[in-house]
Amino acid sequence: PQPRQWLEQVSGESLQDSGLHEGTDGSHPLAQQVVMLRHSRRFGEGSGIGQLARRVNQQLPVEARQLLDARTHGDVFSLPLQNEHDRNLEHLVLDGHGVGPHGYRHYLSVLRDRRPASGTPLESPGWTDWASDVLRAFDTFQLLCAVRKGPWGVEGLNQRITDALLKARLIESDQQWYEGRPVLMTRNDYGLGLMNGDIGIALKLPERDGPDAGKSVLRVAFPRNDGRGGVRFVLPSRLNDVETVYAMTVHKSQGSEFAHTALILPDALNPVLTKELIYTGITRAKDWFTLIEPRSGVFEEAVQRKVKRLSGLMLELEEGAPH
């Protein structure tokens, strides 16, 4: 049978409005050319993350909420906040959920506890091994935001988390550069070989030469992206296009994954809040996902909204098709 007819029979989906034309003459640029991807191989059948993602993708807000509230899956959590100053947010961001899902205390503990002994020369592989451990530990948790501005956006939450870490004495300073500061490249820097979206962490390493030889100086450790693995160190003064990244937008997180991902929604519906954004945030989680909600109902409203894409592709194909 024709692919379109067969696909409609086995899938139960109507392709009448798909732009696909029946017939074998091939005169239409998309005639009979379609593949439907139905199954995700990333999450197992019993995965709460996978089930939640599917319900969001299918725009089933009631069923998605039921899964969150049931608490029957050990990989999916929800955290409703009472108000803007609810300290449960700080507790989650620093310590996760206790056993299992981590917060940011974890990578800072690795930074402190696995540092090479004083006097270890910079040439020692111990420094790159330590930096790699810290970078991997940082990847165990990431807070994602839908927006940049306001108390529930990247800018406000980065400052709030910095303040919480300073208060807990997990970092020594809240000045522009301090040990442990995670930064996100916001623009490609071909001279340094760093790309938009790369994440690095400021670490203290011994100076090799000059009048400060042996003293600790800050360098930012980035994973090498040249296929060789390992770590490269860059002086902070050479990094012009970076921002603190305790919180990042869902948009910036695309293509990345983290062991524990927490998605915080704003307290009011926003044009960027769609089921696609929620789905992307959920699927950044590898092992655990937490939904943080300053106000009830926003999640459900977002799941019911869908991005409308008007690319003009069909019109271009029609105009370019042979007649």
Following DSSP, what letter does each residue of 86-124 receive, concatenated?
Answer: -THHHHHHHHTTSSSS--THHHHHHHHHTPPPTT--TTS
* Mean pLDDT to the nearest integer, 131-145: 97
Report the range of poorest mean pLDDT among 32-41, 166-175, 307-316. Answer: 32-41
Residue 46 pLDDT > 70, yes or no?
Answer: yes
Per-residue pLDDT at 212 exceeds 90: no
The model's pLDDT over 139-153, given as tens digits with 9 standing for 90+, comes to 999 999 999 999 999
SS3 of 47, please? coil
Please give the pLDDT value at position 41: 58
Residue 100 pLDDT level (bands cut at 50, 70, 90):
confident
Using the structure block, give the residue that is written with the tokens 């060789």: 228
pLDDT of residue 32: 57
121-126's contacts with Cβ under 8 Å and 24+ in sequence apart are 121/206, 122/205, 122/206, 122/207, 122/208, 123/208
How is domain 48-303 classified at the architecture level of CATH?
3-Layer(aba) Sandwich (3.40)
Q: What is the predicted pLDDT for the residue at 210?
A: 62
pLDDT confidence tier of residue 208, bands split at 50, 70 and 90? confident
Assign 121 a pLDDT band (cuts: 50, 70, 90): confident
What average pLDDT does range 80-106 have in this prediction?
92
* pLDDT of amino acid 139: 95
285-293 sheet: strands from edge to edge: 76-80, 285-293, 258-264, 141-145, 247-249
Q: What one-character-per-residue DSSP string does 206-247 give?
A: E--SSTTTTSEEEEEEEE--SSS-SEEEE-GGG--SEEE-SE
The whole-number pLDDT of residue 63 equals 97
Mean pLDDT of the chain: 87
Q: What is the mean pLDDT of residues 215-241?
A: 90
The pLDDT of residue 11 is 76
- 90 pLDDT more than 90: yes
Q: In which residue ranges of the chain is CATH 3.40.50.300 found?
A: 48-303
**Does the pLDDT of residue 14 top 90, yes or no?**
no
**Whether the predicted pLDDT of 25 surpasses 60:** no
Average pLDDT over residues 278-282: 97
- How much is the pLDDT for 319? 57
Report which of residues 182 and 208 the model is more confident about. Answer: 182
- Say if residue 26's pLDDT is above 80: no
Angle at 234 between CA 95 and CA 181, to 5 degrees: 20
Residues 41-56, mean pLDDT to the nearest whole number:
84
Average pLDDT over residues 213-222: 88
Q: pLDDT: is 210 or 50 the higher one?
A: 50
